[in-house]
Structure 1
Amino acid sequence: MSSIRLRRHEVTLLPESARVIIRPVIPGEAGRITTIIGRALALTEDEVLRELKMVRHEFEARHFEITALLESHFEKVRQHVFTQRPLSHERQILIGALFSGEYALESAAIFNPSIVLHPDQSGMQEGGLRFVMSLRATGEGHISSIEFRSGTIARDGVILLDPVSRFVTVPEIVPNPSYKKRRFMIKLAEMGFDDEHAAAVMAPLGEEFTRSDLNKSVGTVRHEAQPATRDLKRTLECLQWLADSNYELRFSDKLAMSERIIFPVSPNETNGIEDARFVRFIEDDGSAMYYATYTAYNGRAILPQLIETEDFLSFRILTLNGSAVQNKGMALFPRRVGGRYAMLSRQDDENLFLMFSDSPHHWSDPQIILRPSEMWESVKIGNCGSPIETEAGWLVITHGVGPMRKYCIGAALLDLNDPTKVIGRLREPLLAPEGNEREGYVPNVVYSCGSMLHGRELILPYAMSDKASAIASLSLDELLGALKPG
């Protein structure tokens, strides 16, 4: 272990099974859906009211606006209702409940945190700050989502988390999102679908178009290109898939930070949203945007994605483009370097890479800047979030995997003007799993997705063995002293 003094704070985030959302549970076979609906249609109106009263009694206090959720789930199966008679509102809600179920978001784990400055610093005392922490929550079936916490760091370094509500709410999915034509076409080309059918769909669309614009153009091409070939069907399916992978979310401003949850939405996320690395990015004009890279997983393949938000209420979810968008662990620098965006990555699941781009959405030409050096990182190394700017250089918190698949946290220092130059790196881990930190879903792991500065202290939230999360802090001056040569 490094000789740098580390303070473990009395802050621990443990999985909480009572934090649940309602999600649709709809069988894949139309016959089963029809059979279930038939049982609800066979009830008398009095029986419907009695059964619905029981549902409300058991579940209404556990959720915000349960009626609206059950109504939306009824709409998902309405096409299978086989009677022409009008259904009472109560019967519709009961049918919605038959195709719904609670999901405990963090029943298995809450881990891999990142931390950023809160967009609202009003009311903070001098020397203190408010923060937002993102976490990977994992429940039944190992499906991961993004949760949030907020809290404060006082002038004296005391860290307090805001009270956590038991309520959790998924955002509204914006029904008609907009797309940038150039980005859309670049991604189509990368996927091998820049053919005549895609060109026919894209040609009438403007430089910025909506989902309804795309649907209209797809419908026109499908109608005119007859007979429909296999290539046409595959291209149109790809266009729809790509549109589904780029979407917009919106939370009510009445929700506390801990009540907001980003649950998988698109087909490439069916098995989870993993390891969001949030960073507060400052543009050249001084404006701030929060970006996060994350890994979408559908059970077979991973797809690096990008989140954009200014306020943690409205979010844009976008696919990342380019030949370098191949692996996990991408972390954006918090400002442009030499006029260009910069990103850490790990294309080969072993070394740490750096790449530059004129756009945060397109990445290519990565170059290796760090290879495994010490035994504790001899299997592979990666980043633990976005680099942090200091007067001595870019501070990169790293992770290393060594014997017995033990994960430790380390650090490196890159040149401010040319981050391809490594100024120094720790030879010993900054943080290694010890005591009960070793026990969890994946033993012997400490891991972080992002840290931040509070004055001359580094605030480092970290996960313990893919189960729970904690927060440590250490002196920035002490760390820089260990990293700088001589």
Structure 2
Amino acid sequence: MSESLLNVERYPLIIKPDTHRVLFRPFHLGNERMVLIVNRLLTLTEEEVEQELAQVFQEFRHRHQAVEAYLDRRAKEILSFFNLPKELSPLHQLLVGAYFTHEYALEAAALFNPSIVWHPDQTNLPEGCRRFIISLRATGEGHISSIVFRSGFVDQNCGIWLDGHSRYVTPPNSYTEAHLTLDVFKKKIHELGLDDGFASSIASRLPEEVSYSDVYPVVKEDPNYPSHRVAGDGILALMKANYEVHYSDDRALSERILFPYSPNEMNGMEDARFVEFMEDDGSKVYYATYTAYNGRVIFPQLLETRDFMDFRVKTMAGDVVKNKGMALFPRKINGKYVMLGRQDGENIYLMETDNLYFWETSQLLLAPKYPWEFVQLGNCGSPIETPEGWLVLSHGVGAMRKYCIGVFLLDLDNPQKVLARLPYPILTPEGEEREGYVPNVVYTCGAVIHADRLLIPYAMSDYSTGFATIAMEDLMEALRKEIALGKNAEVAEFQEK
């Protein structure tokens, strides 16, 4: 059976890609052409520079914020490679920056795979309303994916209201280095296959907390680096993958973007699964797993933020940190961090650890069982805590590579125990939802509960994003019926083998 037996309310509200939203990006042409272009620009008189720059401003100033600041920064990057006979005027420098900058339409191809969390600011709202943040995977030219945000609120009747999004997208105020413990550094080096004598020698000269600035001189100044360049460059790429992003609060949420920064994610930051996590002291922090892609290999990464202005990006390590679709539980269980994963690309696994960045073991939780999920099974975001268990949305792939969304229930104290699993999906692609970049797909990276309804933002065929809700009582009653029928005996038996 591949049709839902539950009453699903779909909303007319749809988030579609906006091709007007463009981002400044460096325009790379190679060193030889860079020299030729700069030399040509040096032949211009100041009057010619003013004329050319005036045209640039006329065409592009209304499309971006802080145009001069970006072009000035870009010019300094380019001119740092030159030993000019005299300093260029400020306008001349801006024009140099313009020739090595281009616009990137970050969501021209798609805006999809949403996750949703409650906004850290819940002030000044009518009774019964809650403000939310949605993360979205924006895909543009070259199929490069980035992470963008929208906000809104849901009212007492589960009506959804989206805030207007800005026409502008602005790069972060700054990027800074993040730190890794030496243990995580060593483990990651091992996983990348770089743990030869050269890497061990590098590690032996590092402090207990390491950053890119710590590692770079040790690698580059090592006399063996030229003969171990692959290992050395791999070590530096690892450290580049750990960084922090900073925005000021004068930038609207919809203007902020997490665009690929490290070498490991140059071809995309995919499918962020945000979760509001409760710390041991009762404080809250937002984590998100995402998939970094360099064009050849994927790397599971972890994002951390408390305010959606400052973000920390770190690599995870361990034997089971592999493949896509990891989703963190919203609190520790029995003193341990718990995560869902899909290590083999087909089944859902449960992972536990004492260290958020170390994941060494996993066990099989669910395998494909019903025709609508025969191809593969995976999670659709972090589990949601309910009085009756951890509610988990899943995705299944069936005939004709059709993606549907299903649901199962885990024990609160022992999430290794599957309490119930619906034999049919709760959401399947219908009508216009079937048409898009990748047809016949509905998919989500997270959901929330409000006003006794499960609110699911979901991607429609890898192009746009819609919304649906299901009454929680109907959903839980369907799961209770599965428990009463003993439908999960087979799952429990399979787990014990």
When normalised by structure 1's length, the TM-score is 0.96
Tell me whether 1:36 sits opposite 2:32 in the alignment. Answer: no
Contact 2:75 2:94 in 1 (8 A): yes
Query: For 2:285, what is the secondary structure of its paired residue?
Result: strand
- Counterpart Cα distance in 1 of 2:176 and 2:410: 43
Q: Which runs of 5+ in 1 are unaligned?
A: none
Contact 1:393 1:415 in 2 (8 A): yes
Query: For 1:337, what is the secondary structure of its paired residue?
Result: coil
Letter in 1 for 2:109: A
- Counterpart Cα distance in 2 of 1:89 and 1:179: 40
Tell me whether 1:370 sits opposite 2:371 in the alignment. Answer: no
Partner of 2:389: 393
Contact 2:157 2:451 in 1 (8 A): no
- Counterpart Cα distance in 2 of 1:229 and 1:108: 42
Partner of 1:71: 72
Partner of 1:24: 26
Partner of 1:140: 141
Aligned residues, how many? Answer: 480
Partner of 1:167: 168
- Counterpart Cα distance in 2 of 1:210 and 1:406: 44
Tell me whether 1:319 sits opposite 2:320 in the alignment. Answer: no
Q: Which runs of 5+ in 2 are unaligned?
A: 485-497
Contact 1:33 1:80 in 2 (8 A): no
- Counterpart Cα distance in 1 of 2:76 and 2:368: 53
Q: CA deviation at 1:460?
A: 0.4
User: What do the CA deviations read for 1:159-188 (whole angstroms, capped 9, x no partner)?
Assistant: 101111101112134344333322222212
User: What do the CA deviations read for 1:423-472 (whole angstroms, capped 9, x no partner)?
Assistant: 11111110100110000000000000000111421110000000000111
Deviates more, 1:256-265 or 1:174-183: 174-183
User: What do the CA deviations read for 1:387-445 (whole angstroms, capped 9, x no partner)?
Assistant: 10111111010111000000011101111111111111111110100110000000000
Runs of 4+ more than 2 Å apart: 79-83, 172-182, 189-220, 233-236
Q: CA deviation at 1:196?
A: 4.2
Tell me whether 1:230 sits opposite 2:227 in the alignment. Answer: yes
Tell me whether 1:294 sits opposite 2:296 in the alignment. Answer: no
Query: For 1:366, what is the secondary structure of its paired residue?
Result: strand
Q: CA deviation at 1:139?
A: 0.6
Query: For 2:244, what is the secondary structure of its paired residue?
Result: strand
Partner of 2:248: 252
Q: How is 1:74-473 mapped onto 2 (pairs within 5 angstroms)? A: 74-81=75-82, 83-220=84-221, 222=222, 225=223, 228=225, 230-231=227-228, 233-473=229-469
Q: CA deviation at 1:229?
A: 5.2
Query: For 2:14, what is the secondary structure of its paired residue?
Result: strand
Q: CA deviation at 1:366?
A: 1.6
- Counterpart Cα distance in 2 of 1:229 and 1:44: 44
Contact 2:212 2:240 in 1 (8 A): no
Query: For 2:11, what is the secondary structure of its paired residue?
Result: strand
| Identical aligned residues as a percent | 50
Query: For 1:10, what is the secondary structure of its paired residue?
Result: coil
When normalised by structure 2's length, the TM-score is 0.93
Letter in 1 for 2:346: E
Contact 1:34 1:80 in 2 (8 A): no
Query: For 1:280, what is the secondary structure of its paired residue?
Result: strand
Q: CA deviation at 1:339?
A: 1.1
User: What do the CA deviations read for 1:33-90 (whole angstroms, capped 9, x no partner)?
Assistant: 1111122111111000000011011111111111111112212221444631211111
Letter in 2 for 1:340: K
Q: CA deviation at 1:198?
A: 3.2
Cα distance change, pair 229–100 in 1 and its aligned pair in 2 (3 A): closer
User: What do the CA deviations read for 1:219-249 (whole angstroms, capped 9, x no partner)?
Assistant: 55x2xx36x5523x33322221111011110
Contact 2:14 2:465 in 1 (8 A): yes
Contact 2:116 2:457 in 1 (8 A): yes
Contact 1:173 1:247 in 2 (8 A): no
Contact 2:178 2:312 in 1 (8 A): no
Letter in 2 for 1:230: S
Query: For 1:335, what is the secondary structure of its paired residue?
Result: coil
User: What do the CA deviations read for 1:83-128 (whole angstroms, capped 9, x no partner)?
Assistant: 3121111111101100110000101100000000111111222221
Letter in 2 for 1:295: T
Letter in 1 for 2:5: S
Tell me whether 1:13 sits opposite 2:22 in the alignment. Answer: no
